[in-house]
Chains A and B, each alone.
Chain A
Amino acid sequence: MDLLTPHLLSIGPLLTLVAVALLVLLLESIITKSEPVSFWTSVAGLLVSIGIAVPGIAVHGSAFGGMLRTGGSANYFSIIFFICALLTIVFSRDYLKKRDSVFGEFYLLILFATVGMVLMAAAADLIIVFLGIELMSICLYVLAGFIRGSVLSNESSLKYFLLGAFATGFLLYGIALLYGSTGSTSITFLTEHFETYASSRLFLAGIGLLIVGLAFKIGAVPFHMWVPDVYQGAPTPVSGFMATGAKAAAFSIIIGLFAQRFVHGVQIGTLLAILAAASMILGNVVAIAQTNVKRMLAYSSIAHAGYMLTGLAAGNAYGRDGILFYLLAYAFMNLGAFGLISFMEQEGEKHLTFDDYAGLGTTKPFLAVLMSVFMFSLAGIPPFAGFFGKYYIFVGAVQADMTWLAIVGVLMSVVSVFYYLRLVMVMYFQDTLIGQTASYSASSAAFVVLAALILLGLGVFPSSLLAIITTLY
């Protein structure tokens, strides 16, 4: 027991979250009308977890015999996941009422998925990586199909599950090959001895399979096929959760693996650059053609995976810090946007096309303004946080002699302005449709406003966050 105590203390945020999840599980099974209790327990638990995680950022350490990294980036990512989970849970309550599926198990699954994400971010061993990914993915498969009466939701869940299981196979095979060629699953060991093994084909095959598995999770081209269908069919807040939390979690692993030294092996840097360019081009170009807002955001999320991969391909501190900055900003802007869409959506997956937003600027100016903020930020227009994320990433690419990639990125950002601002244009310069309704609770509205304010704050004072980010690794 005494041996365990320091380890347990250092993983405080994780433990708190697990405790909250188990508490919700118990409440669900004991109380009859448990949904409100579960909701508030989850919200309170996540707030407490954030509170515990914040002071830990300054401390760096490891726990459980090198299985977990604690403090630093692990805590930073944990905070991102907690924020994503918090926003998702708050938004989903209104949404689930609309879809007639208000069950406390939803919050429980979100909490479990978040535990998986925290494990991924904190993992210092590939076994933990695998377990974290599985925990997160299995919960997400179920969450995607949570609206059981909806065909689209079922389709989304099934597609995500089948392809996700397949991708996990790649990941696991990669881990097995890495273990076979190095005799270790420790990420620290692998990053430190990368050059030693770089000539081993078995090792490189393992790295390649690992990249395939992770690229699937972040939805990078050419492993993006599932993204539009899954995001469209899943309950809207869940789509937001997948696009932000799950993506950030997968990136936390990729950064942990590759951002340190791996990129010096030239092949991997180039490989990531190709993935990045393909994702940016395909995501942004195809997004133009979308009429469904959720699908548009799905393709935009593919494009964003591309931007972030750019920072990784750059392989320098600038790029890495840019990704960390961008992931936090992206959590706010994307979840905010999905939250607003969930307010607008009506029964039976209605009111999801661009036309349904016509004239929102006059009928519901409050929602329209907020939506515009998120769209501007997603497009990377200053003074919102999205701009600075992209800025740091592209600067990183230029510094790493990958100017071509930066140029592709900037060009594609310009393309993206077209479809983001089209929504804004539709809202303000087209005539109102009849029957436009939005339903949301005060707490949801408060959180959306908060997200928009934070975006603005981060955009105006990016250096305060950046100062923290530079100390993370």
Chain B
Amino acid sequence: MTVDAILFFIVAAGAVASAVLMITGQNPVKSVLFLIVNFFCLAVLYLILHAQFIAIIQILVYAGAIMVLFLFVIMLLNLGTEEKHVDALNMKRSVAVILSCIVLFLILIAIGLPAAGTGGLPASALVNGTVETIGRDLFRQYLLPFEITSLLLLGAMVGVIVLAKKHFE
């Protein structure tokens, strides 16, 4: 096993463990912390794939901004430990677990069987994910989606303000 492979398995195990701890945790703040750990593990995985830009953006945007907002809201609402409403959820939860397992199983089968026509990674994805290559793609081939994203954010912003504004004049 190469160093990369060893690192991958360690970090991947960390990612899975933190994800499980996140959804099983009772305390919302701890869940947020585990999610941040999870994001860090993902960032390292991106680094192993030579996608430095995505890795750092993962930390900058998700761990650094979005999760801070999560934490802010949790603190503002002063959420305590989640009350257990087991009776209503138990049945649904077991069904959900079974269904999730089936989906996981199917996906594993799908990945495990290399069927005809599976293309593999395109050449562009194999080039290292530096800022330069991503920037070039973003402003040439993906110029339009990039611009539309700004429109999307603008629309979302207007929507949020409409919903949250206290008094209209």
When A and B assemble into the complex, do they touch directly, with CB atoms less than 8 Å apart?
yes
Chain B interface mostly helix, strand, loop or mixed? helix
CA distance A135 to B154 in the complex (A): 9
Query: Which among A179-187, A261-269, A411-419 touches the partner chain?
Result: A179-187
Give B residues with C-beta under 8 Å from A: 106-107, 109-111, 113, 115-122, 125, 140-145, 148-149, 151-152, 154-156, 158-163, 168-169
**What are 18 pairs between A and B in contact, CB < 8 Å?**
A18-B151, A103-B168, A105-B161, A109-B155, A109-B162, A112-B151, A112-B155, A115-B151, A116-B152, A119-B148, A138-B159, A146-B162, A183-B120, A183-B125, A184-B119, A196-B117, A202-B110, A205-B107
Are A25 and B158 neighbours in the complex by a CB distance under 8 Å? yes
Closest approach, in angstroms, between the C-beta of A233 and any C-beta of chain B? 15
Asked if A64 and B163 make an inter-chain contact with CB atoms under 8 angstroms apart, the answer reads no
Contact call A200/B118, Cβ cutoff below 8 A: yes
Q: Which of A126-134, A306-314, A320-328 contacts B (4 or more CB under 8 A)?
A: A126-134
Q: Mark A83-126 against chain B: 1 for CB-CB distance below 8 A, else 0.
A: 00000000000000000000101001100110110010000010
List the count of A-B residue pairs having beta carbons below 8 Å apart. Answer: 101
Q: Check B151 against A135 for contact (C-beta < 8 Å).
A: yes
Q: Measured between alpha carbons, how far is A116 from B148 in the docked complex, in Å?
A: 9
A32 close to chain B: CB less than 8 A: yes
Please classify how large the interface on chain A is, using the bins under 10, 10 to 19, 20 to 34, 35 or more.
35 or more
Q: Do A138 and B152 form a contact, CB below 8 Å, given A64-B143, A109-B158, A205-B110?
A: yes
Q: Is A139 an interface residue (CB 8 A)?
A: yes
B109 closest partner in A (C-beta)? A201
Q: Which of B113, B148, B161 contacts A135 (CB 8 A)?
A: B148
Residues of A within 8 A of B115 (CB): 199-202
Cβ of B155: which chain A residues have Cβ within 8 Å of it? 109, 112-113, 115-116, 135, 138-139
With A138-B159, A148-B163, A201-B110 known, 5 other A-B pairs at CB within 8 A are: A25-B154, A103-B168, A134-B152, A139-B159, A200-B116
Give the residues in chain A near B169, CB-CB below 8 Å: 32
Q: Mark A162-203, 1 if CB is under 8 A from B, else 0.
A: 000000000000000000011110000000010011111111
User: Which chain B residue has the least Cβ–Cβ distance from A106?
Assistant: B162
A67 at the A/B interface (Cβ < 8 Å)? yes
> Is the CB of A435 closer than 8 A to any CB of chain B?
no
A200 to B111, CA, bound (A): 10
Most chain A CB neighbours (cut-off 10 Å) among B142, B145, B155, B161: B155
Whether a CB of chain B sits under 8 angstroms from the CB of A250 is: no
**Residues of the B chain whose Cβ atoms lie less than 8 Å from the Cβ of A200:** 115-118
- The residues of A that contact B156 with a CB separation of less than 8 Å are 138
Residues of chain B contacted by A198 (CB below 8 angstroms): 117
Q: Which residues of B have CB within 8 Å of A141?
A: 159
For residue A145, CB closer than 8 A to chain B, the reply is: yes
CA distance A109 to B160 in the complex (A): 11
User: Across the interface, which residues of A come within 8 angstroms of B144, CB to CB?
Assistant: 64, 67-68, 128
Q: Nearest B residue to A4 by beta-carbon distance?
A: B143
Instruction: Say yes or no for A451: interface residue by CB 8 A criterion.
Output: no
For the complex, give the distance between the alpha carbons of A198 and B115 in Å. Answer: 10
CB distance from A18 to the nearest CB of B (A): 7
